[in-house]
Structures are given as structure tokens and as C-alpha cells.
């Protein structure tokens, strides 16, 4: 019996995971929104430089990694294995750059006294909880994605995985990118000084 969706079960499973994970991130962003509205003393700590500039660069890096990922999928389906591996490597590299920029920002904030429930500027201590909670969960997804792409690339090079595995992995990576499209405006741009 063929699938009513005309796709492989692994791809459908990835879509179902994405819908569930989108609900998780949606819940966190809604919680952040309600906490923010409920706290008149909400802190807006982010300056154009370095935070928004850094966040914009991170966004461009992640968007570019989505482009290299689709290039990997196109190459994999075309049977150009070396090119697909190179594009997957580029995606991993860009993901790593994103993670490093993010961690650098985190460490700078921690150096200024920001903690999960500590606000050095004297406003609501919940800012740290929502900021580190939401961006931390996203960063965890990015790191997991880098590892998974590495595993798939290695298996694809050895012939253990096929182009459909690369395409299914790409769905996850694009989803990570998609989540950042909401995190950047809602968590960064809405908290500009």
C-alpha cells in the first residue's frame, strides 16, 4: 500500500517531529510573550552594537547554511556525491560559526552579570530565564543538527545512506533556521534599548 503523502516514512516521521518541536518552541515563545506583558519592569538591554549586529550576522550565517543545505540535497539527488559532501561540510561549518557567535554573546552577557534568574540592570529577573531558555534550546538544536549532518555526511560518503537521508536531514536543519526567524525578532529586536 503506498503512502497517501507520496513520501518515505522517514520523511513523514521528520515532519511529525518538526510539528511537535514547533509546538514546543511556540509554547516557549508564548510564555515569553505573556511574561513580558505581565512585567512592567521588563528589561530591554540590547544595544545596536554589539548585540543586534552580532544577531544579524548570526541570522545571515544561519540563512546561508540553509542555502548550502539545499545545494547538498540537489547534489545528492543528482548523484554528485563529492559535491554533496562539500555542501554538507559547508553547512556544518556555518552552523559551527553560528554556535560560536552565540556562545561568545552568552559569555559576554554572563560576564556582565546576567544569569538565569539574575538581572544586573535591576529589572525583571525573568529576562535571563526567557533569554537563556529560548536561545539555549535553539542552540542545542543547532549543535544536534551539526552532529547529525556529520553522521549523515559520513554515511552518505560510505554509501550507507542515500540522497533521501540527506533530504530528510535537511528538513531538520531548515526547521532550526525557521525557529531562529522568530527568535531573532521577538527575543532580540523587541528588546532593543
Question: Cβ of 108: how many Cβ atoms within 10 Å?
Answer: 13
Is 148 among the residues that bind another protein (CB under 8 A)? no
Site size toward another protein (CB under 8 A) is: 50
Pick the piece of the chain touching another protein (CB under 8 A) from 15-23, 89-97, 104-112, 149-157.
Answer: 15-23
Using the rule CB under 8 A, which residue among 41, 60, 140, 147 binds another protein?
A: 60
How many angstroms from the chain centroid is the CA of residue 9? 24
Q: Quote the cell numbers at residue 91.
A: 553547512
The burial of 172, by beta-carbon neighbours within 10 Å (0-12 exposed, 13-18 middle, 19 or more buried), is given as buried
Alpha carbons 112 and 120: distance in angstroms, whole number: 7
Pick the piece of the chain touching another protein (CB under 8 A) from 13-21, 118-126, 130-138, 142-150.
Answer: 13-21
Give me the 25-54 binding string for another protein, x by CB under 8 A, dash otherwise: -xx--xx--x---x---------x---x--
Is 181 among the residues that bind another protein (CB under 8 A)? yes
Residues 6+ apart with CB under 8 A from 80: none
Residues 6+ apart with CB under 8 A from 63: 177
Using the rule CB under 8 A, which residue among 8, 54, 70, 86 binds another protein?
A: 70
Phi, psi dihedral angles at 33 (to 5 degrees): -60, -45
Residues 6+ apart with CB under 8 A from 177: 62, 63, 65, 66
**What minimum distance in Å lies between the beta carbon of 52 and another protein?**
7
- Residue with smaller CB distance to another protein, 119 or 170: 170
Binding stretches for another protein (CB under 8 A): 4-7, 12, 15-16, 19, 22-23, 26-27, 30-31, 34, 38, 48, 52, 56, 59-60, 63-64, 66-67, 69-71, 73-78, 163, 167, 170-171, 174-175, 177-178, 181-182, 184-186, 189-190, 192
Amino acid at each position: 500500500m503506498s503512502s497517501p503523502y507520496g513520501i518515505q516514512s522517514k520523511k513523514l516521521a521528520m515532519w511529525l517531529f518538526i510539528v511537535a518541536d514547533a509546538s514546543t518552541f511556540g509554547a516557549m515563545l508564548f510564555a515569553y510573550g505573556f511574561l513580558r506583558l505581565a512585567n512592567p519592569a521588563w528589561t530591554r538591554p540590547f544595544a545596536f552594537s554589539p548585540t543586534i549586529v552580532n544577531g544579524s550576522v548570526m541570522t545571515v550565517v544561519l540563512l546561508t547554511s540553509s542555502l548550502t543545505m539545499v545545494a547538498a540535497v540537489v547534489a545528492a539527488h543528482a548523484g554528485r556525491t563529492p559535491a554533496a559532501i562539500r555542501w554538507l561540510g559547508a553547512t556544518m561549518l556555518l552552523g559551527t560559526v553560528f554556535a560560536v557567535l552565540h556562545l561568545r554573546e552568552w559569555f559576554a552577557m554572563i560576564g556582565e552579570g546576567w544569569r538565569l534568574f539574575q538581572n544586573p540592570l535591576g529589572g525583571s529577573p525573568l529576562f535571563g530565564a526567557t533569554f537563556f531558555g529560548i536561545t539555549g534550546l535553539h542552540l542545542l538544536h543547532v549543535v544536534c543538527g551539526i552532529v547529525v549532518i556529520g553522521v549523515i555526511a559520513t554515511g552518505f560518503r560510505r554509501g550507507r545512506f542515500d540522497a533521501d537521508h540527506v533530504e530528510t536531514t535537511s528538513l531538520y536543519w531548515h526547521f532550526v533556521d525557521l525557529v531562529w526567524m522568530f527568535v531573532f525578532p521577538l527575543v532580540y529586536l523587541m528588546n532593543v534599548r
